[in-house]
């Protein structure tokens, strides 16, 4: 009897261990954007014609602003009975990858609750002004994402800049620079940080042109071309960034 009990206990332990291992593997393999669960389907409130018009306008603006090239975009807008006045209970956006105008993110999950938008401005201009919102965000930004962002930047497009995360909060930016009498390959090392106004900046600590260290005022000029890398005003419903953490070849931005 004791032998049978020992065998049963061992089998049960092996089964539980295998189940935990399988569950861990599943969590690791789950795409980032899927981990941010979409809102459960709820019964939509009855809204009048103005509310339907405003809801449709908001949906259109968000679809125009956010895309997922080659991937999948989830976008859910939940109106309230006061949607005609610009009130929405929740807006959920998830994409893998995500493209917000010129800014690319490998993963994006954004949830805005208790949203209030400027209706006259929305209907007149086709743009969203957020009057109130509680917005959370988690985004993955890779080196390639920042390369793409800088390649489309007004001040950086001609510099062919490439970004490399160096570990911790350090980042390398290398490319070509042609300014005043300075011309040639440039390599900068800086600190990735949150700046006032909910922006992501790079503080340039070292900047070399043709291998020679450049003076501080030129570093400042270079920084002005780079910054801000990411501005919360460019993201729907203005998520107030709380932190950014580098993990290998990607950075996790959250609000």
Q: Residue 222 pLDDT > 80, yes or no?
A: yes
Q: Are residues 79 and 160 in the same domain?
A: no
Q: Which residue has the higher pLDDT, 87 or 177?
A: 87
Residue 54 lies in a domain: yes
Among 44-48, 182-186, 208-212, the range of highest mean pLDDT = 208-212
Domain span at residue 105 reads 36-140
Q: Are residues 128 and 194 in the same domain?
A: no
Q: Are residues 151 and 67 in the same domain?
A: no
Q: Residue 112 pLDDT > 90, yes or no?
A: yes
Q: Compute the Cα dihedral for 237, 196, 161, 248 and give only its sign.
A: negative
Q: Are residues 44 and 106 in the same domain?
A: yes
Rounded to whole angstroms, the Cα distance separating 48 from 180 reads: 60
Q: Residue 8 pLDDT > 50, yes or no?
A: no
Q: Band the pLDDT of 13: cuts 50, 70, 90.
A: very low
pLDDT value at residue 7 = 39
Residue 8 lies in a domain: no
Residue 122 lies in a domain: yes
Rounded to whole angstroms, the Cα distance separating 110 from 146 reads: 20
Q: Are residues 134 and 152 in the same domain?
A: no
Q: Are residues 42 and 119 in the same domain?
A: yes
Q: Residue 159 pLDDT > 80, yes or no?
A: yes
Residue 156 lies in a domain: yes
Q: Are residues 150 and 54 in the same domain?
A: no
pLDDT value at residue 24 = 38
Residue 134 lies in a domain: yes
Q: Are residues 126 and 173 in the same domain?
A: no
Structure tokens at 117: 């938008």
What percent of the chain is predicted at pLDDT more than 90? 76
Domain count along the chain = 2
Q: Are residues 174 and 135 in the same domain?
A: no
Q: Band the pLDDT of 6: cuts 50, 70, 90.
A: very low
Q: Are residues 42 and 121 in the same domain?
A: yes
Q: Are residues 105 and 171 in the same domain?
A: no
């Amino acid at each position: 009897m004791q032998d049978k009990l020992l065998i049963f206990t061992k089998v049960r332990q092996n089964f539980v261990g295998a189940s935990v291992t399988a569950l861990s593997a599943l969590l690791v393999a789950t795409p980032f954007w899927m981990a941010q669960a979409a809102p459960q389907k709820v019964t939509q409130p009855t809204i009048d014609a103005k509310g339907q018009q405003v809801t449709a306008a908001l949906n259109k603006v968000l679809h125009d602003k956010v895309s997922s090239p080659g991937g999948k975009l989830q976008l859910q807008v939940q109106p309230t009975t006061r949607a005609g006045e610009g009130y929405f209970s929740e807006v959920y956006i998830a994409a893998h990858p995500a493209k917000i105008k010129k800014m690319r993110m490998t993963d994006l999950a954004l949830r805005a609750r208790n949203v209030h938008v400027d209706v006259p401005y929305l209907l007149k201009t086709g743009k969203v002004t957020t009057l109130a919102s509680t917005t959370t965000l988690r985004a993955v930004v890779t080196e390639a994402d920042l390369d793409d962002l800088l390649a489309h930047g007004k001040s950086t497009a001609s510099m062919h800049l490439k970004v490399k995360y160096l570990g911790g909060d350090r980042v390398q930016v290398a490319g070509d620079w042609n300014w005043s009498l300075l011309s040639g390959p440039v390599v900068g090392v800086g600190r990735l940080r949150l700046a006032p106004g909910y922006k992501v900046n790079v503080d340039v600590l070292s900047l070399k042109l043709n291998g020679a260290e450049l003076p501080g005022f030129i570093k400042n000029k270079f920084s002005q071309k780079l910054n801000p890398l990411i501005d919360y005003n460019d993201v729907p419903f203005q998520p107030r960034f709380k932190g950014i953490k580098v993990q290998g070849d990607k950075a996790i931005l959250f609000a």
